[in-house]
Amino acid sequence: MIRGRLRCLMRGAGIFLSALWLGGCVSATVDEMTYNEPVAGIGESSVVILGRRHAPDYDTEFDFIECIGDHIHSGDPSIDVINEIAFINEFYPWFEPRTAPMQPQSIDRLLDMPMVAERFAEMKLEYMIWIDGRTVDTDSVGSMSCGIGPGVAGCFGFGTWGTESEYEATIWDFTDKVEVGKVSANTSGQSYMPAVIVPIPIIAPVQGTACDSLGDQLLEYLSAHH
């Protein structure tokens, strides 16, 4: 009886260790095509990173945009990254999903409005970076059952699912109103959830890797120190 339980526990531990070994494996592909890199950095100018949210079936996540901004700012604290939500609110209604400019040439239309132009000048905005994409969970397999009884509760089973991220950053030079680069990051990974009494989620950091990959490339472009 005890030997049977021990075997069961060892089997569970084996699954758990295998999952740990496999978990966290994320593959990433990054493509970059940029022009007119600011060799001396952007100085006292600022950068805003905005998510595209005009597609009917998805929104670029606000927390992903914040992650990239934090990544750039932590990599080079001299780069002033404007908070996305604060920017959208300040320029309401010109950066809503319905009204956001889709081409850099459309910026001139905004600058025709004196109050908007004045606010842009105050911000010393040099680059506007648009991020379009999303993270989705793909196929999942496995099963898990949980039970509860007098004085005991637990789960047993195993589940796994895939996650994929696809993001593309488009860099606009705000002064010249031209597109000066595109960076894309595609990442995918597999997450696992073994459960021997207690479920242990081993989550593949797919979105985090996409954030780091895009953030590194953008930092390289914007910063004089990278």
Contacts to another protein by CB under 8 A:
57-59, 61, 89-94, 96-99, 113-116, 119
Within 13 Å and on the Cβ side, how many CA atoms surround 90?
Answer: 15
Compute the least distance from the CB of residue 36 to another protein, in Å: 29
Q: Could you tell me the end-to-end alpha-carbon distance of the chain, in angstroms, rounded to an integer?
A: 62
CB 69 within 8 A of CB 84: yes
Compute the least distance from the CB of residue 203 to another protein, in Å: 12
| 144-172 core/surface letters (b: 16 or more CB in 10 A; e: else) | eeeeeeeeeeebbebbbbbbbbbbbbbbb
Compute the least distance from the CB of residue 92 to another protein, in Å: 4
CB-wise, 77 or 149, nearer to another protein?
149
CB-wise, 76 or 90, nearer to another protein?
90
Smallest CA-to-CA distance from 159 within 136, 190, 203, 193 is with 193
CB-wise, 22 or 202, nearer to another protein?
202
Cis peptide before 93 (omega within 30 of 0): yes
CB-wise, 90 or 179, nearer to another protein?
90
CB-wise, 113 or 121, nearer to another protein?
113
Return the bridge partners of 199, or none. 195
Compute the least distance from the CB of residue 206 to another protein, in Å: 15
Compute the least distance from the CB of residue 33 to another protein, in Å: 29
